Amino acid sequence: MHAEVEEKEKQSVSLKHMAGTETMIELRGVNKWYGDFHVLKDINLTVRKGERIVVCGPSGSGKSTMIRCINRLEEHQEGIIDVNGVTLTNDLKNIEHIRKDVGMVFQHFNLFPHLTVLENCTLAPIWVRKMPRKETEEIAMKYLERVKIPDQANKYPGQLSGGQQQRVAIARSLCMNPEVMLFDEPTSALDPEMIKEVLDVMIELAQEGMTMICVTHEMGFARTVANRVIFMDGGQIIEENAPEPFFNSPQSERTQLFLSQILSH
């Protein structure tokens, strides 16, 4: 038990200095409606290169919608979103350019069931980055080794456990060599015993300096990895702080209530 705590502390120490000063993602005055429903209200957020942001909040608070706006899976109606120096517009070229640099991991993995694990990983590098197949396979195997499932490379996703599928999904995103990774509740659909294996991979990724935005309720992960924790409710960012003060002395009443609800047992 002691060793684990020490290990975690070491991890957080090694993570402390990594956030740079370069801006990676910037949301300025972003508003979004679903019909008449105002899902995102005046969102302002700046993520620097190498920063790790954890977004939490009750369901329906707009946290998934917010990160899905960053790679245009959802369209925002007002405000400006800059990703890695490119401003999101309706221009398809622009959108595809941003998506190349932004990896995304979904709650339900969304692996392609008709392709093997290896093919899942090489598909986008081959067709989007136009890399030779041989090279993409080498890269895919490198990342599959990093998520500790190289031996499953020729299986189909349907033959893997949930935790393994999610690790493949992470490897698949990494094969595109993204600048940012978005995680949309990556462990919410997993059985409890598989959550750790996925979080371990994400922590490793953070240690290597990947810029990450994670929507998650894994508060242990937030404490270990995040530079900042963002709490959203009703489509707004309610509180934003470093993990220590965020968890130990939350300022807003809504944050206090939320934390007391998820940490009560």
Partner 1 sequence: MIVNDKNIPSRPAPASTRGIAGWLRENLFSTPGNSVLTFMGLAFLVWAIPPIFQWAVLQADFIGVNKEACTSEGACWVFVSARFQQFMYGFYPDTELWRVNIFFAQMTAVLVWVLWDKMPRRTWGGVWFLTGFPLTSFILLHGGFLGLETVETHKWGGLMLTLVLSLVGMVIALPIGILLALGRRSDMPAVSSFCTVFIEIWRGVPLITILFMASVMLPLFIPGDIELDKLARAMIGISLFEAALIAEVIRGGLQAMPKGQYEAADAMGLSYWQGMRLIIMPQVLKISIPGIVNTFVQLFKDTSLVLIIGLFDLLAVMQAGITDVNWPNISIEAFVFTGFVFWAFCFGMSRYSVALERKLDTGHKS
Binding site for partner 1 (CB under 8 A): 71-73, 92, 96-97, 99-100, 102-104, 106, 108-114, 123-124, 127-128, 156-159, 172-173, 176
Angle at 17 between CA 6 and CA 148, to 5 degrees: 60
Closest contact distance (angstroms) between CB of 8 and partner 1 is 31
Whole-angstrom distance, CA of residue 119 vs CA of residue 204:
24
Q: Which is nearer to partner 1, 53 or 181 (CB)?
A: 181
Q: Are 120 and 143 in contact (CB under 8 A)?
A: no
Q: Which is nearer to partner 1, 91 or 244 (CB)?
A: 91
Closest contact distance (angstroms) between CB of 227 and partner 1 is 24
Closest contact distance (angstroms) between CB of 136 and partner 1 is 13
Report the phi/psi class of residue 40: left, alpha or beta, with left for phi > 0 and alpha for psi in -120 to 50.
Answer: beta
Q: Which is nearer to partner 1, 99 or 167 (CB)?
A: 99
Q: Which is nearer to partner 1, 78 or 96 (CB)?
A: 96
Q: Are 181 and 22 in contact (CB under 8 A)?
A: no
Closest contact distance (angstroms) between CB of 39 and partner 1 is 17
DSSP assignment string, 94-107: HHHHHHHHEEEE-T
* Residue closest to 211 by CA, chosen among 65, 14, 24, 46: 24
- Of how many residues is the chain composed? 265
Q: Which is nearer to partner 1, 127 or 260 (CB)?
A: 127
Q: Are 175 and 146 in contact (CB under 8 A)?
A: no
- Listed in order, strand segments (DSSP E) in 1-142 are 23-34, 37-48, 52-56, 78-83, 86-87, 102-105
Closest contact distance (angstroms) between CB of 216 and partner 1 is 18
Q: Are 36 and 66 in contact (CB under 8 A)?
A: no
DSSP run (H or E) holding 224: helix 219-225
Closest contact distance (angstroms) between CB of 55 and partner 1 is 17
Q: Which two tokens stand for residue 209?
A: 């300096």
Closest contact distance (angstroms) between CB of 42 and partner 1 is 25
Long-range CB contacts (within 8 A, 24+) of 189-193 = 189/107, 189/108, 189/109, 189/162, 190/162, 190/163, 190/166, 191/162, 191/163, 193/163
Q: Which is nearer to partner 1, 164 or 255 (CB)?
A: 164
Q: Which is nearer to partner 1, 34 or 112 (CB)?
A: 112
Q: Which is nearer to partner 1, 35 or 158 (CB)?
A: 158
Closest contact distance (angstroms) between CB of 159 and partner 1 is 5
